[in-house]
A and B are shown apart, each in its own frame.
Chain A
């Protein structure tokens, strides 16, 4: 029996104007997205590769001295673009794709009597846009900031906005409409349980919405895959599979929402008005409003306060060490006390800078985290975040990239120390030219940074979103069933 209901409803849906219009819109958007993505991905990938090569060749040509490496670092570190960015763009253009080091090599002068010595800052990570510690530059607006703001039309947009809209368009009259026409009574006069009716209605609406979406998914994936501009790995297909599953769960949420409201309300027009408003508030307005509100849960020091803090703590460190350094460092093995102290100072200073910058960065990132957590009241935001996580773009990916660069920086510093240890002639005081090994460093031995997309990390972030979506689904599912079972049909 359920098969008959599904068939009948599905025919109704498929021959309706709303199906034709929404299918057309979804297909057009997804195909346009796929086609523009081809050029965009190629451009991003080319740029990424060019940047990595440039960064490596700079490292190679920059000379092979160990001190030079300590001073200049391994060059800029770049974020690898995700091949699945067409699913969820995640604002990759705003979340900048690189982390670099300070290479200005600013100096501090130590003085005692007639002798003086110039300490040069060694390499440490800098996270744009809070670029530099010396200059108050919170942000310098780029060319993009005068563009009108927009949401990228990717799978995330199609799902979060359009599929949810379809969900309510296909269901707002499915119970109230039948009740108005009296066909519901007729149907229930047969030996059909109410469960079957609601299941049938759900399934037919689900199929009617999922079909155009899946066609769009297949067509756009085919365009991208067959063009061979984007290389998919095995794990990317798994990610795509999850993305489609998430979208299907999300569709179900709105179908149940539609059925629920439709079963509570007598008239279709009322049901539509209520549903449209719920949709508008829940899907369109809530993520924006809560996002603007959410970051206020955490405060962040202003750039000025931050600069002052940096200046004070660095000056403090400097006074402490400069008081203890009695003579300029010399190249002498084993290292003199002054040499060891000097090297320690330079390293401590680098550590301090690194810690403060990271603190500032994390304060900024915590604000975004808070905003994202709060917006998760809206399933549209949840589904966007899940898409971003699964596609390997957006904010969680950015966090992962930053943590990878930080790990790499540690590894790089360890490499410097180990290389220096291997040289018996060195005073083993890495950080100042007098204390560092002068042997040439083998370029191949220097650890290189490569950004990796790690599925397990990405997936861990997504689990929360996935569970939230399932929670929304369950609540609405139970609500709909109870409401329909208890409904009086007049």
Chain B
């Protein structure tokens, strides 16, 4: 009996006009969207390759250790075709200074298109499913119970020896089959489209991630369908059920996500006073280092000079002066390349080396200390509003769906943060490299007149996106919420339907 009911439900949906129209529209939109996003990805990838090569060249032309400040770049995420998320909104190029522990806010963006455009227009595959297929789910659901009751077929079905639970289950499974069908076709078309371009190569894990997105999409559609079914069970007339479902859809999918975030944006202030106390602490650390450096210079005896010796850098170069500020030594540089040390200054070189030998480790330590202050402070303050907004968003299943797919794809905040974690790791490697090479006790720290530095054994920056399980665990909270919503709605619908008079 169950199978008869299920077959009937599936057929009833498949032959409807709305099914045909929605599926065709959906497929068309998927093709267009994939086209736009693939083109976008290719452009960003080309930009990434150009800039990476340019950075490599720039790095190789570095002649002194203190100017060894490699730029690292975040490659575009190939899965951003599914959900663009933050991939092209956040920084993707970062200079690694030995004096700074890099965070998200130090990065800049390149070849991301146009900041205004990215802000005003958003389109990706998840966006299409979120809108079009959810509407189809509601169109399937609104007359599922109310309609049958109105037309009297429900009574007819009930006259057979069939439990109400099976009727409901048949309806649910029938509709879900008809929703999953276009979804899978869309995924296949998108994948064929993506793979056939050749520019995007998915790894095995990527296919698992895509499966994760598919699963999330199914759970999302099921949640929307159950909302419609719930309304249909509560309400007596089809027309009422339709209006209520559409209204709920508009609110949950369109209005609420924008409303909640804009409220957070307007009603909370971006800058917290705590940032000033953090800034103060950072300045103190920097001042201490500067003072130690100055004290060191004060106590350093220099031949032929009775007074102190100053050292500073300006746009023209490094200068070391004695006493009244008359410059005794001038090392000029042009385009990061130290090229001249005047012969008269040669006798001061050991002093300069000792000075850097003393100061540079202090700078490293100060950078670590500042990093320890800065990282949690920025985490707390800058992410605060975003976190509030995200949590408020979770009242809408559409937003949960969006957040969960972002997590699968790795274009969520955590996914982007991974790059910065790798960058911090790389900075540590770089500092160790300096220590190994004894770089700051050498003349090559600041001067290349006796030969440029050798960069053959410089460790390279390597960045891997998080593995599948990390993505899965990040998607899990929203997935669980969606599942919970599904379960609650199904049980509620069941409870109402079982007790109903037909």
**Chain B residues in 8 Å Cβ range of A109:** 316
Find out whether the CB atom of B259 lies under 8 angstroms from the CB atom of A32.
Answer: yes
Which residues 327-359 in A have Cβ within 8 Å of B in the complex?
A: none
**Chain A residues in 8 Å Cβ range of B246:** 165, 169, 276
Find out whether the CB atom of A22 lies under 8 angstroms from the CB atom of B389.
Answer: no
Question: Which residue of B109, B251, B399 contacts A139 across the interface (Cβ within 8 Å)?
Answer: B109
**Chain A residues in 8 Å Cβ range of B270:** 143-144
Give, as a whole number of angstroms, the nearest-CB distance from A340 to chain B: 27
Give a binary string over A80-121; 1 marks a CB under 8 Å from any B CB, 0 the rest.
000000000001001100000000001101000000000000
Find out whether the CB atom of A29 lies under 8 angstroms from the CB atom of B36.
Answer: no
Dominant SS at the B interface? helix
CB-based nearest A residue for B416: A146
Give, as a whole number of angstroms, the nearest-CB distance from B115 to chain A: 5
Find out whether the CB atom of A146 lies under 8 angstroms from the CB atom of B128.
Answer: no
- Of A56-64, A221-229, A235-243, A364-372, the one contacting chain B is A364-372
User: Is A440 located at the chain interface by the 8 A CB criterion?
Assistant: no
Give a binary string over A301-315; 1 marks a CB under 8 Å from any B CB, 0 the rest.
011100000000000
Which residues 32-56 in A have Cβ within 8 Å of B in the complex?
A: 32, 36, 39-40
Q: How far is the CA of A186 from the CA of B239 in the complex (A)?
A: 23
Q: How far is the CA of A296 from the CA of B348 in the complex (A)?
A: 57
Find out whether the CB atom of B315 lies under 8 angstroms from the CB atom of A17.
Answer: no
Q: How far is the CA of A289 from the CA of B270 in the complex (A)?
A: 31
User: Is A269 located at the chain interface by the 8 A CB criterion?
Assistant: yes
- Of A206-214, A280-288, A316-324, A423-431, the one contacting chain B is A280-288
Q: How far is the CA of A39 from the CA of B265 in the complex (A)?
A: 12
Find out whether the CB atom of A148 lies under 8 angstroms from the CB atom of B128.
Answer: no
Take A141-B89, A147-B389, A152-B262 as given contacts and tell me if A288 and B123 are in contact as well, using a CB distance cutoff of 8 Å. yes
Take A145-B86, A147-B261, A304-B54 as given contacts and tell me if A107 and B315 are in contact as well, using a CB distance cutoff of 8 Å. yes
**Chain B residues in 8 Å Cβ range of A40:** 266
Which residues 12-67 in B have Cβ within 8 Å of A in the complex?
A: 17-18, 21-22, 25, 29, 32-33, 36, 39-40, 47, 50-51, 54
Find out whether the CB atom of A36 lies under 8 angstroms from the CB atom of B263.
Answer: yes
User: Is A487 located at the chain interface by the 8 A CB criterion?
Assistant: no
Question: Which residue of B120, B247, B399 contacts A291 across the interface (Cβ within 8 Å)?
Answer: B120
**Chain B residues in 8 Å Cβ range of A272:** 18, 139, 242
Q: How far is the CA of A397 from the CA of B104 in the complex (A)?
A: 32
Take A141-B91, A273-B22, A281-B25 as given contacts and tell me if A292 and B117 are in contact as well, using a CB distance cutoff of 8 Å. yes
Find out whether the CB atom of B240 lies under 8 angstroms from the CB atom of A17.
Answer: yes
Find out whether the CB atom of B108 lies under 8 angstroms from the CB atom of A153.
Answer: no
CB-based nearest A residue for B378: A143
User: Is B169 located at the chain interface by the 8 A CB criterion?
Assistant: no
**Chain B residues in 8 Å Cβ range of A395:** 116
Find out whether the CB atom of B255 lies under 8 angstroms from the CB atom of A29.
Answer: yes
User: Is A482 located at the chain interface by the 8 A CB criterion?
Assistant: no
Find out whether the CB atom of B385 lies under 8 angstroms from the CB atom of A143.
Answer: yes
**Chain B residues in 8 Å Cβ range of A136:** 108, 110
CB-based nearest B residue for A165: B250
CB-based nearest A residue for B383: A146
User: Is B499 located at the chain interface by the 8 A CB criterion?
Assistant: no
**Chain A residues in 8 Å Cβ range of B261:** 147-150
Q: How far is the CA of A293 from the CA of B123 in the complex (A)?
A: 10
**Chain B residues in 8 Å Cβ range of A140:** 91, 105, 107-109
Knowing that A129-B115, A150-B261, A280-B135 are A-B contacts, what are 11 other residue pairs whose CB atoms are under 8 Å apart, sorted by A's residue number?
A: A21-B247, A25-B251, A36-B267, A109-B316, A138-B109, A169-B246, A272-B242, A273-B17, A281-B25, A367-B114, A395-B116
6 A-B contacts (beta carbon < 8 Å): A141-B90, A141-B104, A141-B109, A147-B261, A148-B389, A296-B39
